[in-house]
Amino acid sequence: MKAKLIANNAFTIGKIDPRIYGSFLEHMGRAVYSGIYEPGHETADAKGFREDVKALVKELNTPLIRYPGGNFVSGYNWEDGIGAVECRPKRLDLAWKTVETNEVGLHEFIGWAREADAEVNMAVNLGTGGVEEARNIVEYCNHPGGTYWSDLRKSNGAQSPFKIKTWCLGNEMDGHWQIGSKTAEEYGRLAAETAKVMRMVDPDIELVACGSSGMGMPTFASWEATVLEHTYEHVDYISLHSYYGNQKNDLSNYLAMSVGMDRFIKSVTAICDYIKAKKRSNKTVNLAFDEWNIWYHSNEKDSKNEPWQQAPPILEDIYNFEDALLLGCLLITLLKNCDRVKIACIAQLVNVIAPIMTEPGGAAWRQATFYPFMQASHYGRGTTLRHILDVPTYDCADFKDVPFVETVAIHNEDANEVVIFAVNRSADESVDLTAELQGFKIAGIIESTEICGHDVKQANAKDSCPVAPGATDNATVIDGNLSAVLKPLSWNMIRMICVLG
């Protein structure tokens, strides 16, 4: 099969916000306890955080971590996580039917995130909480001093404000499972008032309103429209959440699910712009895809969990090769929508539907999905080029005209690189890809890697990680154009050295 891509340096989709490589760490399962934090582990630092896990988080190069939930945040009192650890209360976490010890709280997490080179994207509780708690936590985190909450932060050991920039106004408030779920009217009013007051405390913060918990929600679209009617002038982003799975074991349909992600993004963009038009506003509300991933492997096991355990192993999906391919398609889709998607958080980061897994008292290891994310996060920086792609398509159960190749071309101006990420969705045929990159002088290939050749169900494990990128020589530059062979079912990254010309 042949594919031809044409791009031109003058035609761009937009600058890639690095926060598109954000992630998410919720107080649930083993994400915190025996995930990032395990005093007594042989790699634990003085505060009890695992250095081996921190090193993998750094390798992933995620610049932003959403915290502390998720469903958890809708019943969480952030004050439970400050002050002397031995005085902190143990609480029932109703969202996940577990017991939260609060050993790790605000100071510990922010300190850890800094060491992992990431900013924190803090969510406030708009389930059982409201304006008051949200106002207080912004004052605690961001006010320099001389007031009750800012001085309490100081007395708890942080002289300088944490300067948390990005804040989520609750989580999935449309979902019947959410503690304190609300109608769009109820949430829209509360979110607008909360946003207003949080900004009175710190005008520099950025705010994310809750969109739908997924495109399949019965209130999808009208939820976004109503929430934005109330919040448009108070918020910067609206959230999108979506999880994907191959429950039907239908590979061609599974690999096409990024087409659904694209539709979701385009739909929410249209709703934002409809409200903008209605309000005759000069402001543009952008998108925070602050929960996205593959989630289905663990569903059956989790339905049998005993309630009220501390840090039980839940949502521990073990990812395989086909998951890595879909994850690559999803990343490419986010990159192709970088004009409107400014924040995206792979959900989650450690142990819970995560690229990084840990064994209590043992190793930390990289899942199959770790690698496409890590490569995109390191090399998918700069500007996404607009392109046209001539490639055969296929139809499957849920989608029509799905291109056999999902791809994106990125110009990294700082590194003088053009980078191509591409997934070949065909299980049978290689694709001969030619890329005409107009306006660039392509001097050569810096690096070409692929993940391919595995059984689609091949997964990584603590002692062996076969699903990982390998160097390949299947890309060449001929007369200034890229020529590459994309093997059947493959994730590819091709980095080229370029100058404008």
Q: In the complex, which residues of this chain contact ligand AHR (CB under 6 A)?
A: 26, 69-71, 171-172, 213, 291, 347-348
Q: What residues are paired with 243 via a beta bridge? A: 293
Q: Do residues 291 and 80 touch, judged by C-beta distance below 8 A?
A: no
Instruction: Give every CB contact of residue 450 below 8 A, 6+ residues apart in sequence.
Output: 469, 470, 472, 474, 486, 487, 490, 491, 492, 493
Phi, psi of 476 (to 5 degrees): -140, 160
Upper half-sphere CA count for residue 461 (Cβ side, 13 Å): 4
Structure tokens at 412: 């990294």
Report in angstroms how near the CB of residue 196 gets to ligand AHR at its nearest: 24
Upper half-sphere CA count for residue 47 (Cβ side, 13 Å): 17
* Catalytic annotation present for 291: yes
Give the rounded distance of the alpha carbon of 252 from its chain centre: 24
Which 8-state DSSP code applies to residue 59? H
Report in angstroms how near the CB of residue 130 gets to ligand AHR at its nearest: 19
Q: Which of 38, 139, 172, 417 is catalytic?
A: 172
Residue nearest to ligand AHR as judged by C-beta position: 70
| Alpha carbon distance 365, 373 (integer Å) | 15
- Strands 286-294, 237-244: pairing kind: parallel
Instruction: Give every CB contact of residue 367 below 8 A, 6+ residues apart in sequence.
Output: 318, 319, 354, 355, 356, 357, 459, 460
Nearer to ligand AHR, 201 or 315 (CB): 315
Of 225, 183, 191, the closest CA to residue 209 belongs to: 191
| Alpha carbon distance 426, 20 (integer Å) | 27
Nearer to ligand AHR, 139 or 224 (CB): 224
Q: Which of 291, 322, 406, 450 is catalytic?
A: 291
Of 13, 14, 16, 20, the closest CA to residue 289 belongs to: 20
Report in angstroms how near the CB of residue 297 gets to ligand AHR at its nearest: 14
Q: Residue 374: which H helix or E strand, with range? A: helix 370-379
- Strands 341-347, 64-67: pairing kind: unpaired
Report in angstroms how near the CB of residue 92 gets to ligand AHR at its nearest: 16
Nearer to ligand AHR, 32 or 437 (CB): 32
Report in angstroms how near the CB of residue 175 gets to ligand AHR at its nearest: 7
Structure tokens at 62: 């995620």
Instruction: Give every CB contact of residue 398 below 8 A, 6+ residues apart in sequence.
Output: 253, 256, 257, 260
Q: What burial letters (b/e) apply to 35-45, b meaning 16+ CB within 10 Å?
A: bbbbeebeebe
Nearer to ligand AHR, 91 or 378 (CB): 91
Report in angstroms how near the CB of residue 28 gets to ligand AHR at its nearest: 6
Nearer to ligand AHR, 70 or 127 (CB): 70
Report in angstroms how near the CB of residue 127 gets to ligand AHR at its nearest: 11
Nearer to ligand AHR, 119 or 291 (CB): 291
Residue type, 18: P
Report in angstroms how near the CB of residue 222 gets to ligand AHR at its nearest: 20
Q: Do residues 310 and 295 touch, judged by C-beta distance below 8 A?
A: no
Nearer to ligand AHR, 13 or 73 (CB): 73
- Strands 481-486, 431-438: pairing kind: antiparallel
- Going 13 to 17 to 21 to 24, the CA torsion angle's sign is negative
Query: Over the Cα atoms of the chain, what is R_g?
Result: 23
Report in angstroms how near the CB of residue 316 gets to ligand AHR at its nearest: 12
Report in angstroms how near the CB of residue 142 gets to ligand AHR at its nearest: 24
Q: How many CB atoms lie within 10 A of CB 46?
A: 6
Of 453, 493, 291, the closest CA to residue 372 belongs to: 493
Could you give the residue numbers annotated as active site? 172, 291
